[in-house]
Structure 1
Amino acid sequence: MIQKTNKHQLGALTGANRCENFYELHFATGEVAHFYILADGIFRFLLDPEQNFNENRTTYIQLNNFDESAFKISRVHATNDSLIIHAGNYQIIFGQNPVLMSIFDEKLHRIRMAQAKPLELSNEATSETLVQKKNEFYFGGGLQNGYFSHKGRKIMIKHDQITGKGGIPLQVPFFWSNAGYGEIRNTAQEGIYDFGQQNPELTLIKHQDVIFDSFYIMGETPNSILKKYYSLTGQPQLLPKYALGLGHIGNFITTLWQPSQAKERNASRFDNSYYTRTNDPTVASGKASLNGEEDYQFSARGLIDRYKAMNFNLAWLIPNHGVSAVDYQRFNFFNDYAIDQGIQPGFWYEGQPTLPSKSSFSYARNETAIDTDQKQLQSILQPKRPLILRDGGFMGMQNKAALIFGDVGGNWENITTQIAGMIGANLSGQPLVGAAIDGAQGGGNAQIYVRDFQWKTFTPFLFNIDDQSDYSKTPFSYNTKITNINRAYLTLHQQLQSYLYTLNAQARTGNPIMQPLFMAFPDERINYTEQFNSEFMLGNSFLIAPITNGREDANCDSRKDNLYLPGKHIMWIDLLTGKKYAGNRVYNNLSFPLWHLPVFVRGGSIFDFGHRNFFFYPQGESETVIYNDDDLTAFSEHHYETHIKSIVKGEKLTITIDPIKGDYSALKTDQETQLTIMCDSYSDQVTVKINDQVIQIQQYGTIDAFNHAREGIFYNTNYALPEFAPYLQQGQTAFQIKLANRNITDAKIEITINNFSYNSKVMVPAVTNGLLPSPKLPSVDSNKISAHSFELTWSRPGNVEVEINHLIYEGISGKSFTFHELTPNNRYIIRMRYVTGNKVSEWSDLFGVITKHEAIENAIADILVTSNGKSNSHHPLTYLTDLKLASEWQTNQISLQDNPLKLTFTFDKVENLSRMVLVPRNIDHKANPVDVSILVSPDGKNFTSYIDHLQWKADSKNKVVGLRDVTAKAIELVIYQSSGSLVAAREIFFYRAKK
């Protein structure tokens, strides 16, 4: 055993031994490490300063999945300056002095990963420094809300209470690189991962753990890395199918209601009267309950009835969110009612629970143990699958629980934030993730609600968290127009259940459910960055590009710019209208009415809308496997797969649906099959074969005749998803084929269509026309460049295409255009050309623009803030200066009349300041500072008045105080009055003067 010393680097490699199941490495500084070869491309380096070497030191890693076969066939040899371990296709190379580890891929003949410095060890932490390549990108770390790509950033590996941008509901000490490797730190301690923020050539991985225990994973693709990650931490669970339906989480235990009027924005309608929530029992006229023990209309049973009356199919419900003390007898009565209505009841708890009988699932606080809960549920549900939901998580949770969370609703930023965060969770090994529609708090904006509902239709979890806000979160809380749109998207979500379930099954082998664009298009560098981080792929078939702001055109429709559709030879089809788009383009000036979510189907896609209702968007060759089962725990023994292939060669389309593989006892083997095949034009050469025998099948001339037939063919020139037909003037063209019941275990179906076309007008290349003049003197006004935008102008009006960093932007006309959603401090190389139809001019000369730095780069970090008052434990004082707008500081109940609140901000060094900005809370305006004074200290001890009794309005605007020419070591903010019974703020920024 070595004696603990202060911070130092790992010394030179002095010796190595081959032991029973590991290599033992000795170092000049006295440390000993064990190196394990668990499988081809999975290695472990364990350094314990106490030399206890507990191989099962955490519960995160499942070592029982591995034997010693990979270690036994490994071999080792030494050179003058290194030790080389040969394991499968890899060489693990340990330099002698300095002791640097690298992993060489013999198959690709390149280094996958390499340490840049020896390990750094101390009494508090261990750090690893890795070489970072120019085109290397990093992913993982858990749900880092607002981000999925981490190159050039620093992330924290810790769980916090923040649910908005910058929050970390799920901490996972695992990252991976597109260079083809991943790394798992086997620790529960907090960490900091710096992916080149401090030095773009280095990656620093640091944890507050004196033991360095790291697993290294090699993989040629993201899928293979994630698959190996699951071999170590457990496969994602298969959700019970009801979990993919609409859910409601509410509080029917303590919620109170008071009478209100329809004109109140936060009023909810019950029968013919209006009510609002209240915390004041003296004004309340009704109280929530489970079964109507108080007032039935405010009960959980009453809510089920309202969902049914509004024609919204509710799948699952938690009626006691936030309240652990419940009457179990009443809960069991409610569970009986819910199950009788086809709704699965759940139970919210904190601490160690005893679940009510007939509970279908549970929702646990992050601190709560999972295993006890899982055993209780399994005993209640056997042999059906249990479901555990959690609002925070840890590495390996994917095989036991799903992650769901709420947020502050009613703002656009949350949409982009949650998309990126949920993609990041998928890339961190947790594909079962969801966020509440319109958040748990705030709200009240109908447009934001419906836009949030729409994109979450294309996620595994579609649910709301009610009774935590002044505003109701049910999908029928707004007017009839909004309600009808929400109902249409719920119907679509129900049709997607089979597709989502298939994605859930595929996720177990490393395929994320919500994917970044690079998963499907790995050769496009832009997809690895965050330039288009508000778009995602759902599996391999759907690209969703949600509306993320309130910009509107002249018709009050949402205006969409910067919509990127990848893939140079890919055709994209608007799912709802059928309009086709060529890939490898950025589209602008698109309009989407409130009912219309920008969602696109990839050319070649095949998917099942449930009950063998297959949809085809033919392009090239494509195939898919669709999973189904009986919702029982033993998936491998109780499921079947349907393999489908589509091939377009010339003008011939061939579709093959193979007999299913697998079965289960309750499987109905005789099933009808329906196909909807998108096309451009009619063909009378449609052939249907069953087991290689041509069958005679009639073509019908009307949709009514086709619908009444047992089987047949119909060429539909006005096809639309039924729930969206009322919004469309003209539908799509499609062949619809209906086949009567056949035994799907032995029926091979083959459809052939000759003279077939589907993309004849979209994939036509542009033709350069010398008669079109090249643009002259396009330019950018330096005064109209910001961190995220610039305006491009040109001399002659017309339709133009603009190429920026090798991407073509189209849909641009006039004499100017503003490009939004750009990266700060980034260089953009630009050229443009005029376009008329498919004819284009020559390109203009190239020129460049550099966007400005973000203002936050001048904000002072690591400020020490103290107060003479107490803060809410869930909203600590540190949130006030953490540079995260999603966090919020709050005091406890406070009286300022005789004791003003003093906040003292102390900087690391004396700073030259420019301004102070207070960002008020965005839930309401009930706790805003309204009367303040500001004092300045040059030494952090002696303060002088700077502004006395500054009056602020209690609104949502930022409060800016100029501090030009102020030099200070500390600033004191004195708050004499707030707009409520406590004081709160999202952030206080102090900005340095620009040099």
Structure 2
Amino acid sequence: MIQNTQTNQHQLGALTGASKCDHYYELHFATGEIAHFYVLADGIFRLLIDPEQNFTENRTETIQLTQFDNSAFAKSQVRATNDSLIIHTGNYQIIFGQNPAVISIFDESLHHNRMHQSQPLELSSTKTREFLTENKNEFFYGGGLQNGYFSHRGHKIAIKHDQITGKGGVIMPVPFFWSNAGYGELRNTTAAGTYDFGKTKRGVTVLTHQDAVFDAFYLLGTNPQEILQRYYTLTGKPMLLPKYALGLGHIGNFCTTLWQPSQAKERNASKIGNNYYTRTKDEKAASGKASLNGEENYQFSARALIDRYHAMHFPLSWFVPNYGVQANNQQALSFFNEYALNQDVYPGFWHQSEVELPEKTAFTFTTNEIATKDKAQLQNESQTKRSLVLADSGSTGMQKNAALIFGDVGGNWGNVATQVAGMLGANLSGQPLVGAAVDGLEGGGNAQINVRDFEWKCFTPLLFNFDDQGNFSKNPFAYNRKISDINLAYLKLRQHLTNYLYTLNEQAKNGALIMRPLFSDFPDELANYTAQFGNEFMLGSDLLIAPITNGREDENGDSRKDNLYLPGKKTMWIDLFTGKKYAGGKVYNNLSFPLWHLPVFVRGGSIFDWGKRDFLLYPQDQSETVIYNDNSQAAESNNSTTKIFSKTENETLLVTIPPIEGNWENQDVEQPTKLTIMCDSYPDRITIKINDQVVPVEEYGSLDAFNHAREGIFYNTNYGLDEFKQYHKNTQTALQIKLASRDITTTKIEITVHNFNYGKKVLVHEITSGVLPSPKLPAVDSSKISAHSFELAWPHESAVQIEVNNLLYVGITGKNFTFHELTPNTRYIIRMRYVIGNKVSEWSDLFGVITKHAAKDYAIENIEVTSNCNSKENHPLSYLTDLKLASEWQTRQTVSPEQPLELTFTFEKVEKLSRMVYVPRNIDHNGDPLVVSIAVSTDGEQYTTYADHLQWKADTKNKVVGLRDVRAKKVHLTIYQSSGPIIAAREIIFFRAKR
């Protein structure tokens, strides 16, 4: 019977027996399998089925089992019923059905199942499959960094690293997912897998791994943080970065890069010294070669670039000078490291194999496979410094050893939304320390995209440039002065947020997210669980960032922003730069943002440490914050926390700052305290107490006098962020308080502000007016309905509010409006009302619009392709039909009419086709086909020529060949000529005819 299970795919048979052993339950099944079930801790369970019955408990190095004792298992109780075996532990019942042999986990505190298998496990000698029931409003997250996606309901994801960095790429596969139903599952395997969350069969999740052993940990929790806490219990807590890692980094190649003279008019020219140069691979054309210390030519050296950063007033924090080159000149690297450290820049070292690190190396950039060894080596070499390892790929447990960074092809808007979703997915998969290169690894050349990319990435855990990998420079001053100044302003803003980011990193060790989807802080809003507003994210609980994701502009050339959602009907949001206030629970439209202005919103009630006990408060209701600090360089150090409480009640604001908790050696405990309290009007009276004693503090009438005072109060009617005053006048009002140095370990500060007013009018509800007529049904032009948009029109020029699927869209005027970024093949229920000021009409009747299917819904999947040419490494032939536009296939050799490229595409069955689309590469056009022929076959043997010697151009346009009414089992594509030395494509897509 057991031998049979090793050779044949079958379902797990009926449960026939069970016994309680020393530290696990042993279960027997009718098909011969034996399972071990472990109760490791409250809410952490393990099911292990090994067909060989070896039951190796420490199967991988990523799971930390030694920390668990036997207490949770010993306390568990078991009982049998007529049709099941029930293990009771804590508030949970793990129910093993007898026949069929399915598992349910019942939560007694909620009186419903957290998890339920829809059918028994499927086992074979090569893989296992688990089937889980999906609930109506259940959503799924995890799987690692699945670039472009974070919410997986209705999708299938791959648990396999695929070398693709763009949309659809799996940069960090993690065999771990969780559901908002309150459970997660971690598969203890390194084998590839696929997780199908209801795409193939609605209502059923299918988890497949190419592993004969089924080894799953089930993690229970009432919220994402609890589930991630349990994931970290098994795999290790995220590392705490040294503070310098939060600053700006630069990664480049100063070992082999060559430069040739150029002119300013060339788009990819870089100004170095007083002249312009471009990168080249032609040694004869080169006039200069990069080096570490100026061994070749100083102006092209790594040292010189550090000098340029400083000359441009950009504070540079860390630097990797040898990316892509296994540098072995230890002496030169050590000299560079010493110079960098003298310039307050921490030097790193890139490598892909185990090496001896150069002297004074502060950190490493390596692969995930040797990140653990790097961390141990760095820790060994300097016991007083906290180690830092960056890795360009990852897997289960990497968060305890390394931060994940990656690059992509820059210069396109699509990367913004893709990377936001990807980094959210990494956070939701247990890797909160993640960053993407500004404007990508290669490509680029669009100044607007470059600055918009820099802006939003200033609000991510890691900020850095990847240089010398393409034709365009990626440093933040590569473009004109206007772009450089905006980048510098955002970098200075990021410096103010260092303590905020550092605190988020510390909180992440306990399961809190750093970059968060909206549902993390607003769990009661259904839309937040989907990808509908997945272009936005929260940094911690206090900042909402809505990156500019396309080139749409208004009549002034400013970025046009629609579909900006600010959640929480009782929440006030404040534009960080202008101070404009918005009510939550609305989708804002027709917003304009100049190039310097990123949509960043502060949540009402937020409190920030702007650096050196300079606190910035946005009072609303009652709130508190905890600010973490320590000796960032120490490997093991004491720490301190500063708590601040804010409460507004009956037009009175009370701010309390207790003494800090904790301390560390040589910490400066005598510090002044500053507060900037946002307000709308001048208060009546301010009372300041120090350790319960009222302290008289003078109020000053000018900012200059206040700045020179040791202590003081100033009502500032021209407050704003100094870094941005050249772009926007300081028009906000704020109460500023400055207190002299005191011992912060013993000093309690209480500030009471009477007649306090901030944002009272923002959350006032609209008034329904009978004077305004209720609108008739708006019109929808069916010809303007697409998969992602539709246009709504109404008869009269007016301001309107439109409710779409219970979400209120505001800021709409005119006679029509186009809804963008919609989900294909989805019904939208709509109603509209007129609005004048704060008065609104009654709603119109409800009506519906259904978006069309996306083109990809008709794209044929699982196409087998063969070729007579070899493919380049990391650009395999499978990329040609994987339906991922971010992947790229390349041949190793060129073609000719005498030796053409032959590609054969085989479908799973005979298909009725509509068209074929050849998608060219997007970096350059040196591999585009110029002359092609197409033949089709219905039996796979006899071919009929469909198109002979088509002439194509080498450009950015997709090449479309109509195949209407063509039926085929195979399609043969012959390419006789290319625009370059190879042939390349992002994709060849075959579309079936619409039903």
Same fold (TM over 0.5): yes
1:892 aligned partner: 892
Per-residue CA deviation, residues 138-176 of structure 1 (Å, 9 max, x unaligned), is: 000000100110011111111110001100010110110
SS of the residue 1:761 aligns to: coil
Letter matched to residue 556 of structure 2: N
Q: Percent identity?
A: 67
Counterpart AA for 1:383? T
Residue 207 (structure 1) aligned to one of 209, 233, 239: 209
Equivalent position amino acid for 1:215 in 2 = F
1:286·1:295 contact (CA, 8 Å) conserved in 2? Answer: yes
Residue 710 of structure 1, CA deviation: 1.2
TM-superposed CA distance for 1:559, in Å, is 0.2
Query: Retained in 2: the 8 A contact 1:927–1:984?
Result: yes
Q: Alpha-carbon deviation of 1:796?
A: 1.3
Partner of residue 812, structure 2: 812
The corresponding residue for 2:23 is 21
Aligned residues: 993
- Residue in structure 1 matched with residue 315 of structure 2 by the alignment: 313
Deviations 1:933-962 (A, max 9, x none): 222222222323222222222111111111
1:968 is the counterpart of 2:977: no
Partner letter of residue 451 of structure 1?
Answer: R
Aligned to 1:177: 179
After superposition, the C-alpha distances for 1:242-272 in whole angstroms (9 at most, x for unaligned) are 0000000000000000011100000000111
8 Å Cα contact 1:632-1:638 kept in structure 2: no
Per the TM alignment, residue 571 of structure 1 is displaced from its structure 2 partner at its CA by: 0.3
1:728 equivalent to 2:721? Answer no
Offset at 1:634?
4.8
Which residue of structure 1 aligns with residue 536 of structure 2?
Answer: 535
The whole-number CA distance in structure 1 between the counterparts of 2:373 and 2:131 is: 39
Using the TM superposition, give the Cα deviation of residue 406 of structure 1 relative to its aligned residue in structure 2, in angstroms. 0.2
User: Does the 8 Å CA contact 1:789/1:851 hold for their aligned counterparts?
Assistant: yes
* 1:371 to 2:364 alignment: no
Does structure 1 residue 327 correspond to structure 2 residue 329?
yes
Shift of 1:930: 1.9
The 2-side partners of 1:926 and 1:758 are apart by: 59
Match of 2:111, as an amino acid? H
Residues 830-859 of structure 1: CA deviation (Å, up to 9, x unaligned):
000000000001100000000000001101
Provide the residue aligned with 1:72 in structure 2.
Answer: 74
SS at match of 1:439: coil
Separation in 1, partners of 2:320, 2:554: 40
Letter in 2 for 1:12: A
Structure 2 unpaired stretches of 5+ = none
Quote the offset at 1:370 in angstroms.
2.2
Shift of 1:729: 2.8
For 2:136, the aligned partner's letter is K
Asked whether the equivalents of residues 721 and 730 of structure 2 are also in contact (C-alpha less than 8 Å), the reply is no
Q: Is the 8 A contact 2:383 2:635 kept in 1?
A: no
* Alpha-carbon separation, structure 1, partners of 2:272 and 2:7: 69
- 1:12 touches 1:96 (CA, 8 Å); kept in 2? yes
* Equivalent residue letter for 1:878: S
The match for 1:681 is: 681
Question: Are 1:120 and 1:127, in contact at CA under 8 Å, matched by a contact in 2?
Answer: yes
Pairing 1:759–2:745 present: no
Alignment-mate amino acid for residue 861 of structure 1: E
1:702-717 pair list within 5 angstroms: 702-717=702-717
One-letter identity of the residue aligned with 2:834: Y
Number of the residue aligned with 2:514: 513
Alignment partners' CA distance in 1, 2:46 and 2:606 = 40
Give the structure 1 partner of residue 43 of structure 2: 41
Give the conservation status (yes or no) of the 8 Å contact 1:253–1:326: no
**Aligned with 1:276: secondary structure?**
strand
Residue identity opposite 1:512 in structure 2: L
Deviation at 1:878, TM superposition (A): 0.6
Residue in 1 aligned with 2:133?
A: 131
1:49-70, Cα deviation, whole Å (9 max, x unpaired): 1111111111111011211111
Residue deviations 1:101-157 (CA, integer Å, cap 9, x gap): 111111111111111101110011111101110010000000010011001111111
- The residue type paired with residue 357 of structure 1 is E
Tell me the residue number matched to 2:651: 651
**Pair 1:482-2:489 in alignment:** no
Verify the 8 A CA contact 1:10 1:99 in the aligned structure 2. Answer: yes
Which residue matches 1:264?
266
- 2:698 aligned partner: 698
| CA deviation profile, 1:385-438 (whole Å, cap 9, x unmatched) | 111111110000000001000000000000000000100000000000000000
Q: What is the identity, as a one-letter code, of the residue corresponding to 1:591?
A: S
Q: Contact 1:357 / 1:380 at 8 angstroms: preserved in 2?
A: no
The alignment partner of 1:139 has SS state of strand
Q: Is the 8 A contact 2:933 2:973 kept in 1?
A: yes
Task: Supply the distance in 1 between the matched residues of 2:804 and 2:377 (Cα, whole angstroms).
Answer: 57
Summarize the alignment of residues 77-226 of structure 1 with structure 2, pairs less than 5 Å apart: 77-226=79-228
Answer yes or no: is 1:549 the counterpart of 2:557: no
Letter in 1 for 2:702: T
Letter in 2 for 1:210: A
Segments of structure 1 that go 5 or more residues without pairing to the other structure are none
Secondary structure at 1:116 match in 2: strand
Q: What secondary structure does 1:974 align onto?
A: strand
Query: In structure 2, what is the equivalent of residue 622 of structure 1?
Result: 623
Structure 2: distance between partners of 1:430 and 1:282:
46
* Residue of structure 2 equivalent to 1:825: 825
Question: Is the contact between residue 630 and residue 666 of structure 1 (CA under 8 Å) also seen in structure 2?
Answer: no
How many Å apart are 1:365 and its aligned residue? 2.8
**8 Å Cα contact 1:358/1:380 also seen in 2:** no
Q: Distance in 2 between matches of 1:425 and 1:867?
A: 36
Cα displacement (A) at 1:898:
3.5
Q: Counterpart in 2 of 1:255? A: 257
| Structure 1 counterpart of 2:747 | 747
Partner of residue 873, structure 1:
873
Q: Secondary structure at the match of 1:572?
A: strand
The offset of 1:761, in angstroms, is 2.1
Looking at structure 2, the residues matched to 684 and 917 of structure 1 have their Cα atoms a distance apart, in angstroms, of 70
8 Å CA contact 2:894, 2:980 repeated in 1: no
Conservation of the 8 A alpha-carbon contact between 1:573 and 1:601: yes
Tell me the equivalent position of 2:414.
413
What amino acid is the match of 1:907?
F
The separation in 2 between residues aligned to 1:896 and 1:378, in whole angstroms, is 56
Give the deviation of 1:625 after TM superposition. 0.6
CA distance in 2: counterparts of 1:938 and 1:217, whole angstroms:
50
Alpha-carbon separation, structure 1, partners of 2:424 and 2:67: 28
**Which whole-Å CA distance do the structure 2 matches of 1:372 and 1:177 have between them?**
33
Q: 2:250 is matched by which residue type in structure 1? A: H
Distance across 2 between alignment mates of 1:429 and 1:823? 28
Report the counterpart of residue 429 of structure 2 in structure 1. Answer: 428
How many angstroms does 1:633 deviate by? 4.7
SS of residue matched to 2:232:
helix
Aligned 8 A contact 1:543 1:602 in 2: yes
Looking at structure 2, the residues matched to 26 and 114 of structure 1 have their Cα atoms a distance apart, in angstroms, of: 20
Deviation at 1:198, TM superposition (A): 1.3
Range 891-900 or range 339-348, more displaced: 891-900
Aligned to 2:282: 280
State the partner residue of 1:979.
Answer: 979
| CA distance in 1: counterparts of 2:174 and 2:440, whole angstroms | 24
Quote the residue 2:858 is aligned against.
858
SS at match of 1:308: helix
Distance, in Å, in 2 between the alignment partners of 1:351 and 1:206 is 32
CA shift at 1:909, angstroms?
A: 1.4
- More moved, 877-886 vs 896-905: 896-905
* Cα contact 2:379–2:635 (8 A) shared by 1: no
Residue identity opposite 1:584 in structure 2: G
Task: Tell me the amino acid that sits aligned with residue 522 of structure 1.
Answer: P
Q: Deviations over 1:713-767 (max 9, x none)?
A: 1111111111011111342111111111111101111111010011122111100
- Corresponding position of 1:803: 803
Q: Distance in 2 between matches of 1:754 and 1:791?
A: 50
1:68 and 1:632, CA in 2 relative to 1: closer, same or farther beyond 3 A?
Answer: farther
Which residue is equivalent to 1:391? 392
Q: Is the 8 A contact 2:911 2:992 kept in 1?
A: yes
Three-state SS of the structure 2 residue aligned to 1:117 is: strand
Q: CA RMSD in A?
A: 1.0
